[in-house]
């Protein structure tokens, strides 16, 4: 596939109501291209996570357009946005958000289960993806039995098991030491090499700059500019 | 096992203490509802038991009779008027009423006399387990139910007692003929019953009318009404419904039982709702994550409803066992609790309904959360 997997065009997003209302995004345009790992960097409160939420179809823009694989999300209801998320977008969160009562393979399988894929092939696929992220030996382990790095790798496996076009990661190394952070970024960079996928990583961790193809800077709800990454 | 079911069961079992509290709540609630509705069914059966066992095509009752136990009396001469009506083959007099039984150890206790002539197709005792009905033709012979031995101070056949200062001797023992008022029934011959009650010999409570085969019952009824004044002529079904309506709803007894059952269901619903709500709150991160990764509303509803259903099935199973034990323990008492397959099925449906309704607050809680909240946790 060519072209951006997800893109925001002149997106404005206000948060809060009344006197507490703030404009978190002020006409932002950003696209996540296939075969590319894009870093979105900026200080706290710059609008990174809000932009990630809008690109991930969790928040709707107050103004502007979001496109997922070329299709505008304008006017889409909650159900349609949920469908776009499960079909096209994989998420990786800073605090992993694994299900503590499910083992690794079930945590990964969950992303297929919500899409209605419940056959034995779905289990086999979840196990295959755990192999991809180097956790074949931990498929029956529960999150409490895994290290932070291993939990994040399970979360990445969950994000990619459904062949999502866009992987959106929010501070994926934020809770990890440098060794585990490096391992996680290596996996994300490898995923980004797939020409059918694009990866957007929100971070303020400069150690992961070498993994990026492109770095976009955001501040006060505006894109300041972009530069090539170290990859 | 499906992942939804696995997630639901593990969410439920993760906090064992809360799970036990939920099950206790459901069990308490369903046992309470079982007892109330079991008593209602038992009352319902007992209220009409005499009418059910009377071999009558029609009942001639005093005008304005509210129930079988109504104290109004008819003139015995109405029997002749009834027998003169075309289509009537028999009009068997029956007398009923409350009186005092002298307990051999001292004191008195109220009893309910049912008098009918031996040999006539009247209201005779049934389920005789000791002695026989023919013996009731003997002077002073009575039949009582074994349930009330202790209350009446009787040990069995042959015991002599006093009813309203008249001699009586136990000649037949029945099983399971119990009154919803818990007042023991005492069967006797018609004249003996009149004496025990202190009623005039020419006064009776009802006539059980038998019509000739193939006769038009509605027509016979019309003719009876035209021939006899100040009476009503009822079919057994009409008399049953009138008695049932009076005792269960007219007196408020049925309403009280229903109110108890309703209270039980409300208590159960509140307990399950509270537990599911707090369980959902504890697993909010997971539900928000489910929303974030694009699960449909239906998927999330299923997880929460499965939690409710699992609670319902486990809670109902325990409650049903306790209910059956209560039924068994009360079977031979004066206040038996009745369980029928329909009641059991109804209670299961009620349990499921109660738990599913309880899940609504948890579902609303989850669906009101923005999926973007996942980034803040």
Each residue of B56-103: pLDDT tens digit? 999 999 999 999 988 889 998 999 999 999 999 999 999 999 999 999
**What is the CB neighbour count within 10 angstroms for residue A69?**
17
Report the C-alpha gap between B118 and A50 in whole angstroms. 93
Q: Which position has the token pair 């049925």?
A: B254
Determine phi and psi for B107, rounding to 5 degrees: 85, 180
Report the C-alpha gap between B66 and B72 in whole angstroms. 10
The vertex-A46 CA angle with A40 and A50, nearest 5°, equals 75
Q: What is the mean pLDDT of chain B?
A: 89
Which residue stretches of chain A have pLDDT < 50?
A: none
* Among B residues 10-69, those touching chain A with beta carbons less than 8 Å apart: 10-11, 14
Determine phi and psi for A141, rounding to 5 degrees: -80, 145
Report the C-alpha gap between B141 and B126 in whole angstroms. 15
Report the C-alpha gap between B278 and B76 in whole angstroms. 70
pLDDT score for B294: 92
Please choose, from the candidates A148, A199, A189, A149, the residue with its C-alpha nearest in 3D space to the C-alpha of residue A169.
A199
Report the C-alpha gap between A78 and A72 in whole angstroms. 14
Q: Do A93 and B374 touch (CB under 8 A)?
A: yes
Long-range contacts of B251-255 (CB under 8 A, 24+ apart): B253/B43, B254/B40, B254/B43
Tokens of B80: 């002749």
Are the C-beta atoms of residues B226 and B84 closer than 8 Å to each other?
A: no
pLDDT, tens digit, 9 for 90 and up, residues B120-157: 778 899 999 999 888 888 889 999 999 899 999 999 89
Report the C-alpha gap between B35 and B43 in whole angstroms. 12
**At a CB cut-off of 8 Å and minimum separation 6, what does B56 contact?**
B92, B208, B209, B210, B236
Measure B363 CA to nearest chain A CA, in Å.
Answer: 16
pLDDT score for B377: 63
The β-bridge relationship of strands A166-170 and A198-203 is parallel
Cβ contacts (< 8 Å) between A154 and chain B: which residues?
A: none
Are the C-beta atoms of residues B232 and B65 closer than 8 Å to each other?
A: yes
Tokens of A196: 């059918």
Report the C-alpha gap between B222 and B241 in whole angstroms. 20
pLDDT, tens digit, 9 for 90 and up, residues B292-307: 999 999 999 999 999 8
Q: How confident is the model at residue B255 (pLDDT cuts 50, 70, 90)?
A: confident
* Among A residues 67-126, those touching chain B with beta carbons less than 8 Å apart: 78-79, 82-87, 89-91, 93, 95, 97, 99-102, 106, 109-111, 113-115, 118
Which residues on adjacent β-strands are paired with residue B6? Answer: none
Residue in chain A lying closest to B299 (CA)? A114
Reading phi first (left if > 0) and then psi (alpha if -120 to 50, else beta), residue A204 is in alpha
Q: Where are the domains of chain B?
A: 3-46+253-376, 58-234
Cβ contacts (< 8 Å) between B293 and chain A: which residues?
A: 85-86, 90-91, 110-111, 114, 158
Q: How confident is the model at residue B188 (pLDDT cuts 50, 70, 90)?
A: very high
Determine phi and psi for B75, rounding to 5 degrees: -80, 135
pLDDT, tens digit, 9 for 90 and up, residues A109-162: 999 999 999 889 999 999 999 999 999 999 999 999 999 999 999 999 999 999
pLDDT score for A2: 58
pLDDT score for A214: 94
Q: Is B139 exposed, middle or buried, given 0-12, 13-18 or 19+ CB atoms closer than 10 A? A: exposed
- The shortest CB-CB distance from B294 to any of A49, A52, A82 is to A82
Please choose, from the candidates B350, B336, B367, the residue with its C-alpha nearest in 3D space to the C-alpha of residue B264.
B350
Q: How confident is the model at residue B240 (pLDDT cuts 50, 70, 90)?
A: very high
Report the C-alpha gap between B47 and A27 in whole angstroms. 79
3-state SS, one letter per residue, for chain B: CCHHHHHHHHHHHHCHHHHHHHHHHHHHHHHHHHHHHHHHHHHHHHHCHHHHCCCCCEEEEECCCCCCCCCCCEECCHHHHHHCCCCEEEEEEEEEEEEEEECCCCCEEEEEEEEECCCCCCCCCCCEEEECHHHHHCCCEEEEEHHHHHHHCCCCCCCEEEECCEEEEEEEEECCCCCCCCCCEEEECHHHHHHHHCCCCCEECEEEEEECCCCCHHHHHHHHHHHCCCEEEECHHHHHHHHHHHHHHHCCHHHHHHHHHHHHHHHHHHHHHHHHHHHHHHCHHHHHHHHHCCCCHHHHHHHHHHHHHHHHHHHHHHHHHHHHHHHHHHCCCCCCCCCCHHHHHHHHHHHHHHHHHHHHHHHHHHHCCCHHHHHHC
Question: What distances in angstroms separate CA B283 from CA A62, A101, B290, one per listed residue?
Answer: 30, 10, 11
Measure B9 CA to nearest chain A CA, in Å.
Answer: 10
Q: How confident is the model at residue B219 (pLDDT cuts 50, 70, 90)?
A: very high
Residue in chain B lying closest to A81 (CA)? B294
The vertex-A53 CA angle with A47 and A58, nearest 5°, equals 150
Report the C-alpha gap between B136 and B143 in whole angstroms. 7
Are the C-beta atoms of residues B163 and B102 closer than 8 Å to each other?
A: yes
Question: Looking at residue A9, which CATH number applies to its domain?
Answer: 3.40.50.300
pLDDT, tens digit, 9 for 90 and up, residues B332-365: 787 789 899 998 998 899 888 888 888 888 888 8
pLDDT score for A161: 95
Q: Please tell me the total count of domains within chain A.
A: 1
Report the C-alpha gap between B258 and B262 in whole angstroms. 6
Q: Do B293 and A114 touch (CB under 8 A)?
A: yes
Tokens of A47: 């609008």
Counting one residue from chain A and one from chain B, the pairs whose CB atoms sit within 8 A come to 82
Domain that holds residue A127: 4-228
* Among B residues 295-314, those touching chain A with beta carbons less than 8 Å apart: 295-297, 299
Cβ contacts (< 8 Å) between A110 and chain B: which residues?
A: 3, 7, 290, 293
Q: How confident is the model at residue B265 (pLDDT cuts 50, 70, 90)?
A: confident
């Amino acid at each position: 596939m060519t072209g951006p997997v997800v893109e925001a065009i002149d997106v404005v997003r206000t948060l809060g109501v009344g006197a507490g209302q703030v404009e978190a995004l002020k006409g932002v345009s950003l696209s996540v291209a296939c075969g590319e790992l894009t870093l979105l960097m900026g200080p706290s409160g710059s609008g990174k996570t809000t932009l990630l939420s809008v690109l991930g179809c969790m928040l709707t823009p107050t103004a502007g357009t979001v496109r997922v694989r070329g299709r505008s999300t304008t006017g889409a209801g909650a159900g349609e946005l949920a469908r776009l998320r499960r079909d096209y977008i994989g998420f990786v969160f800073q605090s992993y958000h694994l299900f503590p009562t499910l083992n690794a393979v079930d945590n990964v399988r969950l992303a297929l289960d919500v899409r209605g894929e419940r056959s034995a092939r779905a289990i086999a696929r979840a196990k295959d993806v755990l192999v991809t992220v180097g956790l074949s030996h931990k498929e029956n382990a529960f999150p409490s039995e895994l290290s932070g790095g291993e939990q994040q790798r399970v979360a990445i496996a969950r994000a990619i098991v459904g062949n999502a076009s866009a992987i959106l990661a929010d501070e994926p190394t934020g809770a990890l030491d440098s060794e585990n952070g490096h391992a996680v970024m290596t996996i994300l960079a490898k995923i980004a090499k797939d020409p059918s996928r694009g990866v957007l990583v929100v971070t303020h961790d400069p150690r992961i700059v070498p993994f990026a193809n492109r770095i976009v800077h955001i501040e006060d709800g505006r894109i300041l500019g972009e530069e090539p990454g170290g990859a | 096992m499906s992942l939804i079911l696995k997630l639901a069961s593990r969410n439920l079992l993760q906090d064992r203490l809360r799970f036990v509290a939920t099950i206790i709540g459901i069990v308490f609630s369903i046992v309470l509802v079982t007892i109330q509705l079991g008593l209602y069914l038992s009352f319902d059966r007992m209220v009409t038991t005499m009418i059910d066992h009377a071999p009558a095509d029609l009942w001639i009752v005093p005008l304005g009779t509210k129930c079988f136990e109504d104290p109004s009396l008819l003139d015995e001469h109405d029997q002749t008027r009834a027998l003169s009506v075309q289509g009537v083959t028999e009009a068997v007099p029956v007398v009923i009423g409350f009186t005092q039984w002298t307990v051999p150890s001292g004191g008195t206790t109220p009893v309910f006399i049912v008098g009918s002539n031996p040999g006539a197709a009247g209201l005779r005792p049934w389920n005789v387990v000791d002695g026989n009905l023919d013996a009731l033709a003997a002077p002073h012979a009575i039949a009582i139910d074994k349930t009330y031995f202790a209350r009446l101070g009787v040990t069995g056949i042959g015991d002599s007692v006093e009813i309203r200062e008249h001699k009586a001797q136990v000649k037949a023992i029945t099983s399971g003929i119990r009154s919803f008022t818990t007042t023991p029934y005492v069967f006797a011959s018609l004249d003996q019953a009149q004496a025990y009650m202190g009623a005039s010999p020419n006064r009776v409570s009802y006539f059980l009318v038998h019509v000739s085969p193939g006769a038009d019952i509605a027509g016979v009824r019309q003719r009876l009404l035209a021939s006899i004044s100040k009476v009503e002529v009822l079919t057994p079904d009409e008399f049953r419904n009138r008695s049932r309506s009076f005792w269960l709803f007219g007196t408020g007894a049925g309403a009280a039982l229903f109110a108890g059952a309703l209270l039980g269901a409300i208590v159960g619903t509140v307990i399950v709702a509270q537990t599911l709500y707090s369980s959902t709150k504890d697993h909010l991160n997971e539900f928000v994550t489910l929303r974030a990764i694009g699960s449909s509303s239906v998927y999330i509803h299923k997880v929460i409803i499965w939690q409710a259903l699992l609670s319902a099935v486990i809670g109902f199973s325990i409650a049903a066992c306790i209910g059956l034990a209560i039924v068994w323990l009360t079977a031979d008492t004066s206040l038996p609790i009745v369980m029928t397959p329909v009641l059991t099925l109804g209670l299961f449906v009620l349990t499921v309904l109660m738990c599913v309704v309880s899940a609504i607050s948890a579902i609303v809680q989850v669906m009101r959360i923005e999926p973007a909240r996942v980034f803040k946790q």
